[in-house]
Amino acid sequence: MIMKTKFLRKFNMNIISFRNILLAILSIALFISTQAQQKDSVVVPKLGPPPSMKLPQIQRFTLSNGLQVSLMEKHDVPLVQVELVVWGGSVNDPENKSGLAGLTAAMLEEGAGDRNALELADAIDFLGANISPFVGHHTAGVIMHTPLSKLDPALSLFADIVLRPTFPSDELERNRKERLTELMQSHDDPGAIASVIFDRTLYGTHHPYGIPGMGNEQSLRSMTADDLKNFYRTYFHPNNGFIVVTGDVTLKEIQPRLEALFGNWKKQDVELPKLPAAQQIQERKIYVVDKPEAAQSIIRIGRIGVSRSTDDYFPLLVMNTILGGSFTSRLNHNLREVHGYAYGAGSIFDFRPTPGPFIAAADVQTNVTDKALSEFIKELEGIVQPVSDDELTRAKNYLALQYPQNFQSVAQLDAQLSDLNVFGLPDDYFNTYVQKILAVTKDDVQRVAKKYIDPEKVAIIIVGDRKQIESGITALNLAPVQFLTIDEVLGLAPDIEKK
């Protein structure tokens, strides 16, 4: 399940450093750990059973044009969130037009209806609302968050952005220049460099997951307003998406409002691309990208993971929590607590509609890059062995006890309910999650570890100062080493002034 609030999604998700995801997880766990240590530790109470969680019923209805709507009421605060999702993310970018989905989504708020970008932003701010487009690998859309008292005018602006974007040429040029600037800046961002070479190594250049969703200089410079309009017209249709509503509103109140605004939105046949099967990593190999004078080495280790629809989802969550998914995980304990090589280390299965990557990662001190790499391999080898009863219990309690935190706000409810729809999960999923986590056994953990973690068949990406780390890495004799320059990974930095 995707845990983060969707207001935080950005169009360039696939080049964000894994460090940011990892540190967010570890900082929360560190805070909890620190708070616990501040209390009287003479008598440590035993954990009770995880609390049961019963969420409000998911209500579903369909508009006259077939647009499906999911509603979960939450009446403790006068806020409402509405999200429109369509199947049309970066995997839908045409050949030689990488970045088109992201640029199209970003341009939705740059002029809509009879308002230009500034007028639209002022109108949204005046209401105290927030309306933001987003794009991911498989989906795109718009999210609205508003005080209940401003629901009607906010919905009107939301509908303009979804149904009547104008894609003005002057705003296109500004957005294009911003993206070219980000591409230029990425040459000095070790995390971005590592993400690009990691995805390309796992998936290749003929699979959408291996192509940066930001695009490249050539594709960005080639895009026209017509390209954006064509992408929008291809995927933004009521039969190719859904709406999620959460907050202080009832079905009786919201259904006629949505029908009035979206009921005349026309259907159209939509052909979604079929992704090629990703070929699993067949041997261990190390790729070192030289970043002269880098203060740290960025380490990413991974292979093709598994799709969200896998029957092994819950055992994988528990197994990964033990390996690298919590502050007390083996990877973080080893690299941070025992050796002090990094501020944090961890791992994650990026569950997607088709198999996403498994990633183990840390940013480590340059002078211990080789030692840290050895410890990574040690932990990846160790997780396939039986785990202890204590580790299993702690991992299951961690997942079970933190789960209710994902449903505290209307934005969090929206994120969870949207994922339920994206991944086709059953309506009782939320209320049965804890039960399924607690049912995971030690045999389950060992089985999925052996099935999905193979330290002999991983890609190892390191971005750091070659002059300082080369001898140590090669001396480990772990695998063949290929050395790359930043330009070989990202291409030449764009000339921002070029027209």
Residue 183: CATH number of its domain: 3.30.830.10
pLDDT by 10s per residue, the chain, length 499: 333 333 333 333 343 344 444 444 444 344 334 444 444 444 545 656 666 677 889 999 999 999 999 999 999 999 999 999 999 999 999 999 999 999 999 999 999 999 999 999 999 999 999 999 999 999 999 999 999 999 999 999 999 999 999 999 999 999 999 999 999 999 999 999 999 999 999 999 999 999 999 999 999 999 999 999 999 999 999 999 999 999 999 999 999 999 999 999 999 999 998 999 999 999 999 999 999 999 999 999 999 999 999 999 999 999 999 999 999 999 999 999 999 999 999 999 999 999 999 999 999 999 999 999 999 999 999 999 999 999 999 999 999 999 999 999 999 999 999 999 999 999 999 999 999 999 999 999 999 999 999 999 999 999 999 999 999 999 999 999 999 999 999 999 998 877 6
Within a domain: 205: yes
179, 291: one domain? no
175, 307: one domain? no
Q: Is residue 369 within 8 Å of residue 335, measured between CB atoms?
A: no
Within a domain: 328: yes
* Res 46: pLDDT: 62
Closest CA to 136 of 200, 197, 71, 90: 90
Within a domain: 1: no
* Res 495: pLDDT: 85
DSSP E strands: which ranges in 39-152? 59-62, 68-73, 79-87, 111-112, 115-116, 130-135, 139-147
Spatial strand order of the sheet with 296-304 comes to 342-349, 357-365, 296-304, 459-464, 285-290, 481-484
The residue type of 135 is V
Within a domain: 267: no
230, 292: one domain? no
- Rounded to whole angstroms, how far apart are CA atoms 18 and 28? 16
Q: What range defines the domain where residue 109 resides?
A: 59-262
- Rounded to whole angstroms, how far apart are CA atoms 325 and 402? 13
Within a domain: 208: yes
Distances (CA, A) of 152 to 149, 242, 246, 256: 8, 20, 15, 11
251, 309: one domain? no
434, 306: one domain? yes
346, 461: one domain? yes
* Res 448: pLDDT: 98
With both helix axes pointing from N to C terminus, report the angle between 117-127 and 151-163 in degrees, rounded to the nearest 10.
150
315, 223: one domain? no
212, 359: one domain? no
256, 288: one domain? no
pTM of the model as a whole: 0.89
336, 202: one domain? no
318, 366: one domain? yes
Length of the chain: 499
List pLDDT tens digits, range 145-202.
999 999 999 999 999 999 999 999 999 999 999 999 999 999 999 999 999 999 999 9
Within a domain: 496: no
Q: Which residues contact 261 (CB under 8 A, 6 or more apart)?
A: 155, 156, 158, 159, 163
Task: Give the distance between the most distant pair of CA atoms in the chain.
Answer: 69
Number of independent structural domains in the chain: 2
Per DSSP, the three-state class of 178 is helix
Give phi and psi for 68, each to the nearest 5: -85, 140
* Res 54: pLDDT: 78
252, 323: one domain? no
